Amino acid sequence: MSILVTGGAGYIGSHTAVELLDTGENIIILDNFSNSSPEVLDKIKQITKKDFKFYKVDLLDENALDKVFEENNIDEVIHFAGLKAVGESVEKPIEYYNNNITGTLNLLKVMKKYNCKKIVFSSSATVYGNPKTLPIKEDFPLSTTNPYGATKLMIEQILQDVNVADKDFRVAILRYFNPIGAHKSGLIGEVPNGIPNNIMPYIVRVAVGKYNELTVFGNDYDTEDGTGVRDYIHVVDLAKGHLSALKKIRENSGVQIYNLGTGRGYSVLELVKTFEKVNNVKVNYKIGDRRPGDIASCFADVNKAKKEMNWVATKGLEEMCKDSWNFILKNK
Ligand code: NAD
Ligand code: UD1
């Protein structure tokens, strides 16, 4: 029996692969390397000293996907593969809907054919749109403002519908808040394509001298210091959340939905200051305009994951900042 990890060469997938291998799970990684590279696979092996099968397959290639299931005994899937840049999704909606939706439908078709009935899916806090109150609970109203977010919402709906049609089909939908940090070894971490959109990859590149300064997107929000507040979560804590979710759906039928965050929000300036302090480096910044589509504050109510999965994030902001820095220093 194996767990198929789609998108397992990516940022969150690679960290989850490490945790799975470390606990003795048998995994198969599938990736098309559209946003990652083959070296990551060697790094995962280096960290864990374990081996696994890998398939360079695009989820859009249904025949190739079928072959992966035909050749292996896959009974669980952790589905990370997808395109994730919000701005790019506005420019290339067809590509995003095709990759994320069609890719997932192909996966579900093949899972059905081979009687594979457990899936953990990477959703995002983006599905909460602009929440009316904080912290955000799983039963808050859902909405999206861009094609990326729409694909997440649609896939959540598709998974719930598949469960309605087949009660043996078990689903965990994990809504991630803001993953940052990297594995302690510095061997795997976040490697964005081109100019990073998300804040931590940008901060580390300013600190290392690649960019002159960070633009803080607005300081006139209704927050303590006026800058945006987010729930940053260490990627290793997030990865561990997938093991808890897997355990949950091994033991329970139905669709389980969980926020994965720390439950605590930090502002952009708090993040920058913490990064500077723990790493003893300077991060130059200037205050710029608000980024269209951004919200003031976003942080999770994490009680459901704690109560039902016994999962909590254990790593604080300082460790996240240290590990992000360690990764960039080792991978300049
Ligand atoms: P990532 O880009 O590092 O990893 C995704 C991986 O999927 C990449 O290795 C990419 O090559 C692969 N992939 C994409 N399309 C594919 C396809 N059609 N066939 C096969 N492989 C394909 O992204 P990540 O940060 O690790 O995110 C993983 C998942 O979590 C994504 O679904 C993303 O939308 C979701 N998510 C990420 C964040 C975040 O901040 N990183 C937040 C919320 C949700
Ligand atoms: C973004 C996405 C969201 C996605 C999430 C995780 C947008 C509008 N939203 O969220 O859909 O789920 O990433 O992938 O892109 N910031 C700066 N300067 C920068 C970059 C960011 O000040 O150069 C600020 C932002 O305004 C925000 C915070 O830093 O307040 C975090 O930004 P980011 O890392 O992009 O994540 P989100 O905006 O939460």
Task: Pick from 148, 225, 268 the residue to mutate for probing ligand 2's pocket: most ligand atoms within 8 Å of its CB.
Answer: 268
Q: Which ligand 1 atom is the nearest neighbour of the CA of 34?
A: 11
Which residues have CB under 8 Å from 213's CB, separation 6+? 206, 284, 285, 286
- Which of helix, strand or coil describes residue 211? coil
Q: Residue 193 has what pLDDT?
A: 84
Instruction: Give the residue numbers marked as catalytic.
Output: 148
CA 134, 231, 302: angle at the middle one, nearest 5? 65
Long-range contacts of 126-132 (CB under 8 A, 24+ apart): 126/86, 126/152, 127/152, 127/153, 127/156, 127/175, 128/175, 128/298, 129/295, 130/295, 131/295, 131/298
Structure tokens belonging to residue 10: 């990516």
Q: Residue 332 has what pLDDT?
A: 82
Residue 107: which of 32, 49, 39 has the closest Cα?
32
Helices 317-330 and 268-279: angle between axes, nearest 10 degrees: 60
The rounded Å distance from CA 46 to ligand 1 centre is 22
Q: Which ligand 2 atom is the nearest neighbour of the CA of 221?
A: 30
Q: Is the pLDDT of residue 212 over 90?
A: yes
d(CA 230, CA 317): 11
Q: Residue 194 has what pLDDT?
A: 87
Q: What percent of the chain has pLDDT over 70?
A: 100
The rounded Å distance from CA 49 to ligand 2 centre is 35
Residue where the block lists tokens 């280096």: 46
Which residues have CB under 8 Å from 285's CB, separation 6+? 206, 213, 214, 215, 216, 272
- Which of helix, strand or coil describes residue 229? strand
Query: Tens digits of per-residue pLDDT, 85-142?
Result: 999 999 999 999 999 999 999 999 999 999 999 999 999 999 999 999 999 999 999 9
Query: Tens digits of per-residue pLDDT, 8-58?
Result: 999 999 999 999 999 999 999 999 999 999 999 999 999 999 999 999 999
d(CA 24, CA 47): 14
Task: Pick from 122, 153, 236 the residue to mutate for probing ligand 1's pocket: most ligand atoms within 8 Å of its CB.
Answer: 122
Which residues have CB under 8 Å from 205's CB, separation 6+? 196, 211, 328
Q: Kindly identify the ligand whose nearest atom is closest to the C-alpha of 149.
A: 2
- Which of helix, strand or coil describes residue 180? strand
Cα 25 from chain centroid? 20
d(CA 257, CA 237): 17
pLDDT band at 192 (very low <50, low <70, confident <90, very high): confident
Query: Tens digits of per-residue pLDDT, 221-242?
Result: 999 999 999 999 999 999 999 9
